[in-house]
Structure 1
């Protein structure tokens, strides 16, 4: 049941794949040494785009939903990874509190049910504590597959957070805090809060993440003797933009123009005949909102009032004032006739699975995280961690997925650099 890929199976992507497969022992040792120095995020999902000539992450999520898209074959990998993560943090843990987004959408709740199952199978008593004021008593919600989830009201003590008759050692957030950090989550001194509050969008910036990723990709490129651009989307950033007026739009124009020029130069160097484009998106969390594709700087001048309003509003109705301008990476992958991009799921430092996000109405240069998208599981016949030596690039699905897993882990490593750099409690060693 491996999805049929009509990826361009010739050209530089295969040279890149070949280089990665030949270097597997070197790569795995490098990751092992990195994880001795850096703590991986608790869980991560990474959107990867495969342009045929380039393979790069375009988004890294530190509060991933969508766990319900993992196939039953992937769940044991996730359980093992959850065990490893919990043992490292709180080996004596018995109870885990999962704090979700404030949404009642059954699709999202099915994701919670899968997470609850993973943690339960990892040996933990798991309950769901809701931040919503509407949840005042345990509330059962039926899911499409016949299962149920129960949301319960959170109870806050002086230093701890829990539920009625439930005092967990570990709290896992499955909300990216787009609307701000609720006071009930602050100043917890006796419990592990994962991911930490500064991983949420009130603090986090995509530009900080991709700066860390740029550093990781340069070091990885040096390790493999390759151009880091082949795995790294170039970017610029604008800090003060007001889409409702012209304020900051000159910064957007000049940075977009500079980035398009840089990408054109790279395309020329590699003999790529595609038209470069950039993607402008909110620097702090979008949930698929406030995103536009720009092929020419004139596109910015020609924004309609409707497009400006759309660009000016981010997740949870937040006003967008900071944007990242990211090199657009085409996706040449298709499932049937729909454009597809792989999403890699990780827990602790392990790749546990993933799926293709597909969108029949979007082009290969457009954002696929939009209404109308659907999901096809990546069917790992073997673990994504196990490439097959001696099999030529492009011919083997596990090999291709191993490559996605490497890119996913590079983005996850960048996230660990990023979280260390932005940790408000870290001592300033400079």
Structure 2
């Protein structure tokens, strides 16, 4: 499958970036090897990228990826190899893994993701059982999946400082596919077993502004490595707190933050001869699923929100109230699949890119959040395992995917440093 069409006349900066990536590939890969030796990568992660033709940048980093069922078949062998490395790093004699998913038992598409992840773990040679945090799961419970498959969730027991199942299943590793938006339950705390990702990776602790602060440093180092302006791979951002959308508290502070970011972006657009209109994305500083997100092209866009807009911005997953947001530089996506707006999502396990897909939305624009109801997914084809092809130009599909993989790994490295900086054990 070819890479998406890029519906933009402003592709020269991207092609130049891809040319630099190809020319510097040995240097880049050596740099990544050294960085990941110093900063252990998360067990897994997915990165939402945006490609405007003049900029290729991550806009979100998920440490509990929920779309393994959307990857193509060619991702399977890559994922199995990467899982083997990731598990060995955490527990070198592991034989079994307890996978703990979200509580979305009514979302059969999410359960397909759990089944796909369990299949990868099993094919890597581990015994895998799926434990639920739901109080109503009191016995092994079978769920039917849309493809005719089934998934069994089992109640978790805690014996001392270990999690086990009723029949004595006693795993070495606890793998979370639950982002802990409502907080980490006592059941998961102070365990002897390795818990990955660590509890402080959950959204009750984690903040997007912490991640992008770490990404700033990574992007600057990468810019020096390749002698490029790091802005081409890095979105500006600012934190804004003390908000109450229902009570319109902090509106002017938010408007000022939007104004400041638009001015910064506008200056960069003028510097590089970009004619598009700058915009920002205002989104909750914690959380996923595209909740609490809006686009602003003017400070006035965040003042005097109507009731529907305030309700949308005030609450995210698990009913958590939003008082802190990230005001992030908006990156246009000029990629399309069958004339619908699309953005690449890259999946990684350990430090390896294992696959990806395009998030496609026929009802959204190039400056809007695509992680919304109505989206669908088109798998990418990683025929060459996301390796560059030196026999073709920077704009060929294989090399475009390599560029995606490089920028995604920059975000992964930032997540590594972010988790180190926020590790309570290091405090």
- TM-score when normalising by structure 1: 0.97
What displacement does 1:145 show?
Answer: 1.5
- CA–CA separation in structure 2 for the residues paired with 1:372 and 1:246: 30
2:79 counterpart residue number: 78
2:290 counterpart residue number: 288
- CA–CA separation in structure 2 for the residues paired with 1:305 and 1:65: 31
Deviations 1:349-391 (A, max 9, x none): 000000000000000000000000000000112111x101142
1:398 counterpart residue number: 398
- Give matches, 1:153-302, under 5 Å: 153-164=155-166, 165-188=168-191, 190-302=192-304
Give the direction of change, closer, same or farther, for the CA distance of 1:46–1:4 in structure 2 (3 Å limit): closer
**Structure 1 residues 396-405 or 8-17, which shifts more?**
8-17
SS in 2 for 1:361: coil
Residue 3 of structure 1 contacts residue 376 of structure 1 at CA under 8 Å; is this kept in 2?
A: no
- CA–CA separation in structure 1 for the residues paired with 2:159 and 2:321: 33
Residue 122 of structure 2 contacts residue 128 of structure 2 at CA under 8 Å; is this kept in 1?
A: yes
2:6 counterpart residue number: 6
- CA–CA separation in structure 1 for the residues paired with 2:144 and 2:127: 20
What displacement does 1:249 show?
Answer: 1.7
- CA–CA separation in structure 1 for the residues paired with 2:31 and 2:85: 20
- Give matches, 1:26-37, under 5 Å: 26-37=27-38
- 1:420 aligned onto 2:423: no
2:59 counterpart residue number: 58
CA RMSD of aligned residues (A): 1.0
**Structure 1 residues 159-168 or 198-207, which shifts more?**
159-168
SS in 2 for 1:303: coil
- Give matches, 1:348-387, under 5 Å: 348-384=350-386, 386-387=387-388
Structure 2 residues not aligned, in runs of 5+:
none
Residue 3 of structure 2 contacts residue 397 of structure 2 at CA under 8 Å; is this kept in 1?
A: no
Deviations 1:67-126 (A, max 9, x none): 001111110000000001111111110110000000111101110111111000111000
Residue 357 of structure 1 contacts residue 369 of structure 1 at CA under 8 Å; is this kept in 2?
A: yes
Equivalent pairs, count: 424
- TM-score when normalising by structure 2: 0.98
- Give matches, 1:40-119, under 5 Å: 40-104=41-105, 105-119=107-121
Structure 1 residues not aligned, in runs of 5+:
none
Deviations 1:233-272 (A, max 9, x none): 0001112111111322222111111110000000000111
**Structure 1 residues 162-171 or 225-234, which shifts more?**
162-171
- CA–CA separation in structure 2 for the residues paired with 1:11 and 1:90: 46
Residue 290 of structure 2 contacts residue 371 of structure 2 at CA under 8 Å; is this kept in 1?
A: yes
- CA–CA separation in structure 2 for the residues paired with 1:101 and 1:286: 12
Displacement over 4 Å in runs of 4+: none
Residue 280 of structure 1 contacts residue 293 of structure 1 at CA under 8 Å; is this kept in 2?
A: yes
Residue 99 of structure 1 contacts residue 171 of structure 1 at CA under 8 Å; is this kept in 2?
A: yes
**Structure 1 residues 5-14 or 272-281, which shifts more?**
5-14
Give the direction of change, closer, same or farther, for the CA distance of 1:380–1:318 in structure 2 (3 Å limit): same
Residue 101 of structure 1 contacts residue 175 of structure 1 at CA under 8 Å; is this kept in 2?
A: yes
What displacement does 1:6 show?
Answer: 3.4
SS in 2 for 1:425: helix
Residue 214 of structure 2 contacts residue 418 of structure 2 at CA under 8 Å; is this kept in 1?
A: yes
What displacement does 1:4 show?
Answer: 4.3
SS in 2 for 1:141: strand
SS in 2 for 1:16: helix
What displacement does 1:159 show?
Answer: 0.5
- CA–CA separation in structure 1 for the residues paired with 2:97 and 2:306: 48
